[in-house]
Amino acid sequence: MTHHRVVVIGGGNAGLSVAGRLHRLGVEDVVVIEPREQHRFQPLFSHVAGGRARLSTTVRPQAAAMPRGVGWIRDAAAGIEPEHDAVVLASGGRVGYDHLVVCPGIQLDWDRIPGLAAAIRTPAVASHYEYELVAKASRLLRDLRRGTVVFTQPPGPAKCAGAAQKPMYLACDYWRATGVLGDIRVVMVVPDPTVFGIPEIDRELDRKIAEYGIELRTGSEVQSVDGERRTIEIGSTHGGPSETIRFDVLNAVPPQSAPDWLKDTSLPAPGDDGGFVEVDPETLRHVRYPNVWSLGDAAATRNSKSGGALRKQTKVLAENLAAVLEGWEPTRRYNGYSVCPFTVSRSTVVFAEFDDRYRLTPTIPFWRTLSRERRLSWLFDRHILPWVYWHMILKGRA
Ligand SMILES: Cc1cc2nc3c(=O)[nH]c(=O)nc-3n(C[C@H](O)[C@H](O)[C@H](O)COP(=O)(O)OP(=O)(O)OC[C@H]3O[C@@H](n4cnc5c(N)ncnc54)[C@H](O)[C@@H]3O)c2cc1C
């Protein structure tokens, strides 16, 4: 069994950013366990599906994405033994740690909706939430000229939940420009009583929804999908009668939860079906195992899960962990900040910044109207942020 001072499970947005920050704070012997050879920048998946980016721009070799001075174990974690300070690897090995950071992301639960897992293998169903299906989603939306298209957003925890809507606005703008929008019925299924949940953002999105003639089904969820017959059954999240819609294209975002292997460890709170790691939502330290930490999509924090949330979480966790290694108490606090940039056209974005109580929390406090539809936010989201991600965020510098 090898042993390291800090072991990080997952080399995604959270894992690399926090490992890079720890190294920059002078913490030696940080290793990341990550099975994939390619690192994926998921926020660009929406742009790919909407025809505004190439799939190749979303990935880079993991070796190039790794921050300098951080080790890489090319394997997957299969279990955690917090009583023995050890991670069990899929290959059968074990890795010991002084401190453990758990961030293997969130799992897409295709099987939780009857028929959906089979439907995504049929020609008219895709999802921009799965790397392997993003190009298919892009092609289906680009080639549609008439008929019915359904977009779905699941209830419960999800990564950047509002991202389920982004390809829809991009596609509507494209269909309008090519003169076919009037021949396409667009249906969007969302779980909440309004399209997002913050009045200022809802107003902006509702305006675009009216502009594009989208049929919004609020308080609704998918109950089943038949990929062969091209039908989807939608019902209220509170029960009651359901509605069946025949579609020509379906872009489905499935329900989500913590990875199954993580649910089977003792890290989630007892009784938490989602299986997320039970941390103090402010210090990001485990409530029962003081040398275990978690952040990102796999952590049971209260915020809306997003890469934007990680910009704050990585700093808090790295500084708290470094302090504990020096014998101090963790004093940094995460305030629940999160982000959802809605691509409401092919050149504008509604940039929602909010906290864990869904209150607007603009980074530039005196510019509250930054959350209105803007071209500047598009430039930031599509062009500046990807550069900042690859060169600064993943290196623990932003
Ligand atoms: C379509 C889409 C659009 C999005 N848009 C935005 C946006 O506009 N803005 C925004 O802020 N956020 C957005 N997000 C959310 C954002 O991408 C995630 O919140 C963020 O990537 C979470 O980081 P993470 O490190 O927790 O998980 P991930 O980045 O998913 O990384 C998890 C890593 O863990 C690895 N892993 C998995 N299992 C194991 C294992 N057993 N052992 C070891 N490693 C493992 C994976 O290979 C992966 O590299 C979007 C997400 C999607 C899917």
Q: Mind listing the domains of the chain with CATH numbers?
A: 2-106+258-336 (3.50.50.60), 109-256 (3.50.50.60)
Q: For strand 71-73 and strand 30-33, is the pairing parallel, antiparallel, or unpaired?
A: parallel
The predicted structure's pLDDT at residue 367: 76
Residue with tokens 């609704």: 220
CA of 210 relative to ligand 1 center, distance in Å: 32
339 Cα nearest atom in ligand 1? 11
The confidence score (pLDDT) of residue 267 equals: 98
pLDDT at 286: 98
**To the nearest 10°, the Cα dihedral for 298, 304, 308, 314?**
-40
Q: Which stretches in the chain have pLDDT values below 50? A: none
pLDDT at res. 178: 98
Residue-averaged pLDDT of the chain: 97
Helix axis angle, 166-177 relative to 131-143, nearest 10°?
Answer: 30
Q: Going edge to edge, which strands form the sheet with 231-236?
A: 220-226, 231-236, 242-246
16, with CB counted inside 10 A (0-12, 13-18, 19+), is buried
- pLDDT value, residue 123: 98
CB 314 within 8 A of CB 195: no
Per-residue confidence (pLDDT) for residue 343, from 0 to 100: 98
- Name the residue among 215, 223, 232 with its Cα closest to residue 122: 232
Please work out whether the CB of residue 77 comes within 6 Å of at least one atom of ligand 1: yes
Amino acid at 178: T
Cβ proximity of 33 and 89 under 8 Å: yes
Distance 179 CA to ligand 1 centre (A): 36
Q: So what's the pLDDT on residue 366?
A: 75
Per-residue pLDDT of 138-184, as tens digits, reads 999 999 999 999 999 999 999 999 999 999 999 999 999 999 999 99
What's the pLDDT at 353? 96
Instruction: Report the pLDDT value the prediction gives residue 359, as an integer from 0 to 100.
Output: 94
Contact 151, 34 (CB under 8 A): no
Q: What is the model's pLDDT at position 368?
A: 73
